[in-house]
Amino acid sequence: ELHHRGFDGIETSLNEILRLSHNNDEFFKETLAKHQLDLIGICYTNWADFIPGSWQDLTVEQHLKNLDRELEQMVKYNPIHINIHSGQDNWTVEQHEEFFERALLLQAKYPNVSSSHETHRGRSLFNPTITLHMVTRFPNLRLTADFSHWLVVCERLLNHPSDLERLRRIIPHVDHIHARVGTVQHAQVTDPLVDAPVETHLMQTWWQMIWDEQIKQGKTRITLTPEYGPKPYAISDDVDVWTLTIREMERQRKNYQHWIEQKDYSP
């Protein structure tokens, strides 16, 4: 169905891979190949899949141990990229720094697959200020941009000149986009164009800034996941998340095509 709808791949975690494959790794890889779907893997250093009641207050050492294990397990599925949910928001700056310094060494063990850390609530990169500090401290730190979380955490649109300057300095570090529109009170809206036209326009501008930067960096692949989830991300069980996700994918394909046509560039 994903192939039929026009998706190029899936983004999923180790737990979901085991569920989808019925613990048969070769079946999973063969099914993806059969339907011409790439894999972006998700690794968690804590709180895997956000299962209710499963969050733990872990040390930096425990997070790194989990990351090492998850990276080792994920690479066997031949992902084109790995998205990392890393750290936790209640650490000190020094703990965040220790984590990323050592996490980058773990990532370097797998030079054939790129990986990036997601800007997500509850994680180390839960707001733009700490994120800018980390990418300044570690210039080779790469990011997954899920900016919908920052709108909620900061409870503002992030369109003040100081906010935009911060984003301009962060965006060169982005490798992968989670294209979900949120507002200052919700990380996910039901209909971006109807429920949040201002936020939709603002976030589209940010995504296009990322595309611009990736062209400047000479990247040959730009990845984007239209990430809309069920309740509690959705405001109710009545939201048709499948249709919402497909609609966002189709919208982003059109937006990307329109954007690339304005560039002197062959993707």
Mean pLDDT value across residues 22-28: 90
pLDDT in tens, 236-260: 899 999 999 999 999 999 999 999 9
Torsion sign across C-alpha atoms 263, 171, 81, 179: negative
DSSP state of 64: H
Could you tell me the two tokens for 132?
Answer: 């800018």
> Domain range holding 119?
2-262
Q: What is the pTM of this model?
A: 0.96
In a domain, 247, yes or no: yes
Query: Quick check: helix, strand or coil at residue 229?
Result: coil
Alpha-carbon Rg of the chain, whole angstroms?
A: 18
pLDDT of residue 23: 82
* Inter-CA distances, 177 with 43, 52, 99, 208, Å: 16, 25, 23, 10
> Burial level of 8, CB count in 10 A (0-12/13-18/19+)?
middle
pLDDT in tens, 174-225: 999 999 999 999 999 999 999 999 999 999 999 999 999 999 999 988 899 9
In a domain, 131, yes or no: yes
Q: Percentages helix, strand, coil for the chain, rounded to the nearest 5?
A: 50, 10, 40
Report percent pLDDT > 90 for the chain.
89
- pLDDT tops 60 at residue 267: no
In a domain, 193, yes or no: yes
pLDDT of residue 264: 72
In a domain, 171, yes or no: yes
In a domain, 267, yes or no: no
Give the residue among 33, 29, 96 at the shortest CA–CA distance from 63.
Answer: 96
pLDDT of residue 52: 87
Q: Considering its fold, how many domains does the chain have in total?
A: 1
Give the rounded distance of the alpha carbon of 219 from its chain centre.
17
Helix axes 25-34, 14-21, angle to 10 degrees: 90
Q: How far apart, in whole angstroms, are the C-alpha atoms of residue 48 and residue 14?
A: 9
Q: How many residues does the chain have?
A: 267
Strand partners, 43: 84
Write the CATH number for 113: 3.20.20.150
Give the rounded distance of the alpha carbon of 267 from its chain centre.
22
pLDDT of residue 265: 63
Buried b (16+ CB within 10 A) or exposed e, 30-57: eebeeeeebbbbbbbbbebeeeeeeeee
Angle at 79 between CA 108 and CA 1, to 5 degrees: 160
